[in-house]
Amino acid sequence: MAQPVETPRKALRTGGRAARRAARAAPLADDLRPVRAGMEGGQYRPLTTEGMARIHEAALEALEVIGLSQAPQSGVDAMVAAGAVQGDDGRLRFPRALVEDMLAKAARGITLYGRDPKHHLTLEGTRVHFGTAGAAVHMVDPVTGDYRESTAQDLYDAARLVQHLDNVHFFQRPMVCRDVTDNLEMDLNTLYASVSGTTKHVGTSIFDPAHVDPCFEILHEVAGGEAAWRAMPFVSNSNCFVVPPMKFATESCLVMEGCIRAGMPVLLLSAGQAGATAPAPIATAIVQAVAECLAGVVYVNAIAPGHPAVFGTWPFVSDLRTGAMSGGSAEQALLTAGCAQMHQFYGLPGGAAAGISDSKLPDMQAGWEQGITNVMAGLSGLNMVYEAAGMHASLLGYCLESLVLGDDILGQAMRAVRGIDVTEDSVSIETMRQVCLEGPGHYLGSDQTLKLMQTEYVYPVVGNRMSPKEWEEAQRPRLLDKARARKEDILSKATCTVDPATDRAIRARFRMHFD
């Protein structure tokens, strides 16, 4: 009688290991993922309660004493009707009671919509979201070190990458379409390259008030009509409505008014530079940014009470030795974290900048600058962390490989934001007892370890955790090579997110400079 064939123990272990690896590789439900958009920060607070109150008082004083100049007449009329006072010098000044009244009317707990509902962003409390932004004029080749002018195709490629990067939660235009010389075509290409590349929430700028209506023609086409757009506005207007210090940007304000009337959320963006267009002390730079954005709150709510607006205090830092911007500095990280606290002080949805590198390439300097500033922004509970990935040369250069690397950085930053879960299960000593008294003396194969591998631990996609021996056997893979390979793999598969018929209709009416 034939004896049964005994399966080698090694084969059994291998099969079991393969099955476990396959199970771990399967996508997790969103609520089980170790990190995800909207996790709550707020653990880091560089400003004391007293410090926030003093900044608030100083900002109110600045609005009453200094005020802002150069608002368009339509804005002057709306704000004066609400209670602002225009002096003989033409400057608008804002009494404390007016500011407090408009703060009471301002929208809170707003949603920034994606075209896909899974990408909706809820902006409230200390919920954190990371994304892109900026106006880089060059693209960076990290291998050759060359800089070249950015194009509409680069913008479309960046949007398509963001669509497939889990830890980049929204897409705001990070570079300028330098190959598009007509200003209207530039605005239309900026908007449509972003929208057609991703179904995540998009932020865009509009150069001229006359361009607002053509931009909304595209948005209504993509949404399926004006009513559908107004029900779920998936694009916000990134609006530099002030020119620091303490001046309204006339044309941008007119754009903002048009976007408000058309139902588009607005980002009230104040981007002074400490030591140049904002005061050098970090606290006073925050005071000016807060004052300017409070003026924006008055402006928006005087036109449309409760209209969704992001309190966009974005003060930057100067290297005071040269006057050059320093987006990757510790001072920048402190400014951003302090601004996040002021957003929370007012209970308003807020955004600011982090993740910028002063380095010209994705090197070690870029790593520490992007890592430190993003972690501090996340821990501060900043709702919208703009410019968080891909940005180099203090906002002048953008790198797609760095955007891919940034996805890993942001995953680690969000894990820091999540913090340590302390529950009855997580601090139970039962597993310790079994391992120490009944088991093998280690936790590698315990049910608890296997259960938590995906839900509590975050693993880099591109980052390398091989041992030196494994690294040698793998022929010493380089980080940039892996980033470039992932970039090319995503772009080879990523298609236009707008349906073909709508895409053809839009391209038939407007000239697009990307494929």
DSSP-based three-state secondary structure for 192: helix
Strand 391-392 and strand 138-140: pairing?
A: unpaired
Tokens of 81: 């009707």
pLDDT of residue 4: 47
Does residue 72 fall inside a structural domain?
A: no
CA angle 234-235-237, nearest 5°? Answer: 150
CATH of the domain at 286: 3.20.20.480
Name residues whose C-beta falls within 8 Å of residue 311's C-beta, 6 or more positions apart in sequence. 268, 293, 296, 297, 343, 346, 348, 349, 350, 351
Does residue 211 lie in a domain region? yes
127-130 vs 384-386, strand pairing mode: parallel
* Parallel/antiparallel/unpaired status of strands 127-130 and 39-40: antiparallel
pLDDT at 23: 58
The H-or-E segment that residue 75 falls in is helix 73-82
Q: Kindly report the three-state secondary structure assignment for every residue of 160-174.
A: HHHHCCCCCCEEECC
Q: For 369-414, how does the pLDDT look when each residue is reduced to its tens digit (9 = 90+)?
A: 999 999 999 999 999 999 999 999 999 999 999 999 999 999 999 9
Q: So what's the pLDDT on residue 22?
A: 60
Give the rounded distance of the alpha carbon of 218 from its chain centre: 24
CA distance 340 to 230: 29
Residue 68 counted as domain residue: no
Residue 183 lies in a domain: yes
Helix crossing, 152-163 with 400-418: angle to 10°? 30
Q: Quote the CA–CA distance of 12 and 27 in Å, as a whole number.
A: 25
Q: Give pLDDT < 50 ranges for the chain.
A: 1-14
Question: By the 8 A CB rule, do 356 and 338 touch?
Answer: no
**Cα–Cα distance for residue pair 289/242, rounded to 1 Å:** 10
Q: Quick check: is 330 in a domain?
A: yes
Q: Specify if 275 maps to a domain.
A: yes
DSSP letter assigned to residue 226 = H
User: How many structural domains compose the chain?
Assistant: 1
Q: Taking the CA of residue 157 as centre, how many other CA atoms within 13 Å lie in the half-sphere pointing to its CB?
A: 22
User: For residues 241 and 249, is the Cβ–Cβ distance under 8 A?
Assistant: yes
Determine whether 65 is exposed, middle or buried from the number of CB atoms within 10 Å of its CB (0-12, 13-18, 19+): exposed
Rg of the chain over Cα atoms, rounded to whole angstroms, equals 25
The pLDDT value recorded for residue 179 is 98
**Residue 445 falls inside a structural domain:** no
The boundaries of the domain holding residue 142 are 104-419+496-509
350/129 Cα distance (integer angstroms): 11
Domain-embedded: residue 227: yes
- Confidence at residue 20, expressed as pLDDT on a 0 to 100 scale: 57
| Contact by Cβ (8 Å): 273, 325 | yes
The whole-angstrom separation of Cα 445 and Cα 458 is 19
Q: What is residue 422's predicted lDDT score, i.e. its pLDDT?
A: 92
Give CA–CA dist 217/229, Å, rounded. Answer: 11
d(CA 170, CA 111): 12
